[in-house]
Amino acid sequence: MTIEMWNRRAMVFGLGAAAASPALAQLLPEQTPRPQLDVPYVPTPQEVVERMLGMAQVTAKDFVMDLGCGDGRMLVTAATRYGARGFGVDLNPQRIREATENAKAAQVSDKVRFEVKNLFDTSIRDADVLTMYLLPSVNLQLRPRILDEMKPGSRIVSHAFDMGDWEPDQRDMIDYSRIWFWFVPAKVAGAWTLTDGGERVELAVEQSFQKITGAARAGAAAGRIEGRLKGVDVEFTLDLAGRQKKYAGRVAGNAVTPAAGSGWTLARV
Ligand SMILES: C[S@@+](CC[C@H](N)C(=O)[O-])C[C@H]1O[C@@H](n2cnc3c(N)ncnc32)[C@H](O)[C@@H]1O
């Protein structure tokens, strides 16, 4: 969906239209304080909600957060369908009233909570899954916080808009609705030592979101690595002295544990 299509959709819903049209805004009762929204209200169609939660593989173990939760449909569905817990914030008190009522009607008030709060002031540290239907500029503002605050391996799913040059790990489309999905990658940039079969290889790893590249050196031999992260799972190919070998493991703090068996170790210098 393009921004233009999104704007047309937004005009169908009251606040978006009011925010976009000063003439219409004047028709609202004076006593109604209008929150200064960063994104107008446009609810995600239910089939898109379900596809988003399916892509994020939500389970009963997950704590799901929806930033700008609207009428709460994302979290109410996550709770009713998967038993997940949830927390949603929205700047518009009317949306929070609707979300709270919807949770009550679906009998999931013990699992989901909604609060009138600015999404920019909301901690996302504890979320296992973050859902968003915002705007490209808002996604980009949130991106550094997502990468720095959220646990490696937590999942992000966004309706309609991407996150700039952070490529998605998966994408999907229903009718005109695009869905973007990412794992928060572990941070692996820096110096590592790989030992494999008596050989010691020094790696200088560079990271751009989930992609990794870098220089490899074993004695006089120089080479490269190239690979990617899927949360805490890492795969890379070492190309050294004309030989290529694939490695797969899991990042755990300052070490990578081999995915299958052993035979090699990888630790931060
Ligand atoms: C496009 S709607 C998405 C609603 C819901 N997440 C969904 O997918 O159905 C964006 C929502 O963000 C809310 N919003 C806009 N700016 C906000 C802000 N700074 N903090 C919290 N909520 C905000 C709006 O009130 C609106 O309900």
For ligand 1, whether the C-beta of 160 sits within 6 Å is no
pLDDT at 3: 61
Question: Which mutation among 5, 92, 118 tests ligand 1's pocket best, with the greatest number of atoms within 8 A of CB?
Answer: 92
pLDDT at 16: 41
For ligand 1, whether the C-beta of 1 sits within 6 Å is no
Residue 162, domain CATH: 3.40.50.150
Q: Are residues 95 and 225 in the same domain?
A: no
Domain boundary among 183, 215, 237: 183
For ligand 1, whether the C-beta of 44 sits within 6 Å is yes
Distance 39 CA to ligand 1 centre (A): 6
Please state, in angstroms and rounded to a whole number, the distance separating the CA atoms of residues 118 and 89: 7
Instruction: Give the chain's domain count.
Output: 2
For ligand 1, whether the C-beta of 92 sits within 6 Å is yes
Q: How far out from the chain centre does Cα 245 lie?
A: 31
pLDDT at 35: 86
Q: Are residues 47 and 72 in the same domain?
A: yes
Q: Whose CA is nearest to atom 12 of ligand 1?
A: 68
Q: Are residues 147 and 250 in the same domain?
A: no
Q: Are residues 179 and 213 in the same domain?
A: no
Q: Are residues 7 and 78 in the same domain?
A: yes
Q: Are residues 47 and 143 in the same domain?
A: yes
pLDDT at 7: 53
Q: Quote the pTM value.
A: 0.90
Q: Are residues 147 and 245 in the same domain?
A: no
Q: Whose CA is nearest to atom 6 of ligand 1?
A: 69
Q: Are residues 83 and 198 in the same domain?
A: no
| Average pLDDT per consecutive 10 residues, the chain (269 residues; last block may be shorter) | 58 43 45 83 98 98 98 98 98 98 98 98 98 98 98 98 98 96 98 95 98 97 98 98 95 94 90
Domain boundary among 134, 160, 183: 183
Domain boundary among 160, 183, 206: 183
pLDDT at 1: 57
Range of the domain at 228: 190-268
For ligand 1, whether the C-beta of 91 sits within 6 Å is yes
For ligand 1, whether the C-beta of 43 sits within 6 Å is yes
For ligand 1, whether the C-beta of 41 sits within 6 Å is yes
Distance 175 CA to ligand 1 centre (A): 22
